[in-house]
Structure 1
């Protein structure tokens, strides 16, 4: 009986430790930012000219690339188009065009030329989260990575974006950028 009690105590401890570890791995939900200001209205911020400046880190946190981008957003009948033109530190240029479409629940989905399927956009308060699968040029081929974008509006003209890129559930890169509205 004593052995059984010891095993049960050990099992309870193991379950508790696993619960704590899993809880530590969870990420905040966008709803946690619902009361934060300034409010992040997708169609207001991503309208007109914008500039972005960012860095890309590998899985160990080393900065491996940096870039600047010109963006331009416009909206028609509730559907937004955001054109992005990137120039990387090595001179490489990339373009992406997002189309953001409202759904029946007032949320948005997003598609782009190098995105597989649809990205799912969630908004609350000053935060906008988007998850999607991106095709990334890698070693002469295209690699599909999952992207978890987390954007936070810090004032009327600036959004800070943190992204985690993962493959098979493992983080393979991190992207940090600042997006700023530019006067027309």
Structure 2
């Protein structure tokens, strides 16, 4: 019975709706990724599993530098248990400047290249990463997961990010982050 319930839950999780660029825009704002992330920011976030249980929360400070070609984004995470992590992204525009601007990026731990697209007030960022995850009974483990991040510009100084997380093709949870320019 326990396995039947778990199988049903996994099947249902595959049917959950996700954002799309076909969805109507929430505003007439235009996200300009390189300028939004330039400078210092602070963000607050949490990861919750597919059952809705919050597993980790964190604060992240960000420092972005746009040199006209590349956006370098340094993210310093501090988790509720006091552990820390740093991720340094290097992003660059890959397509002609249009309403649907494309991006690619790399960071340590990210498998191959991350790909993104800007459209109106939104940005979608997809990548696979070896993510360090603390173990309840000892050292940190590394899990390979796929992120499907959706970001919406809510005001000139606020951006909401919901990242859908998968492992082996199945939804395992989501990360919700609110970014604020300093």
Give the TM-score, by structure 2 length. 0.81
**RMSD over equivalenced CA pairs, Å:** 1.9
Residue pair 2:19, 2:150 contacting (<8 A) in 1 also? no
**Aligned residue among 130, 134, 152 for 2:129:** 134
**Aligned residue among 15, 18, 29 for 1:38:** 29
Richer in helix (by share):
1
In the alignment, structure 1 segments of 5+ residues that lack a partner are 1-20
Q: Which runs of 4+ in 1 moved over 2 A?
A: 24-37, 138-141
1:115 aligns with 2:110: yes
Deviation at 1:80, TM superposition (A): 0.4
* Structure of greater Rg: 1
SS at match of 1:27: coil
Matches within 5 A, 1:1-184: 27-30=18-21, 32-33=23-24, 36-106=27-97, 107-138=102-133, 139=135, 140-182=140-182
Q: How many residues align?
A: 160
Match in the other structure for 2:6 = none
Residue pair 1:162, 1:177 contacting (<8 A) in 2 also? yes
Give the TM-score, by structure 1 length. 0.80
In the alignment, structure 2 segments of 5+ residues that lack a partner are 1-11
- The structure-2 alpha-carbon separation of the partners of 1:47 and 1:142, relative to structure 1 and needing over 3 Å to count, comes to same
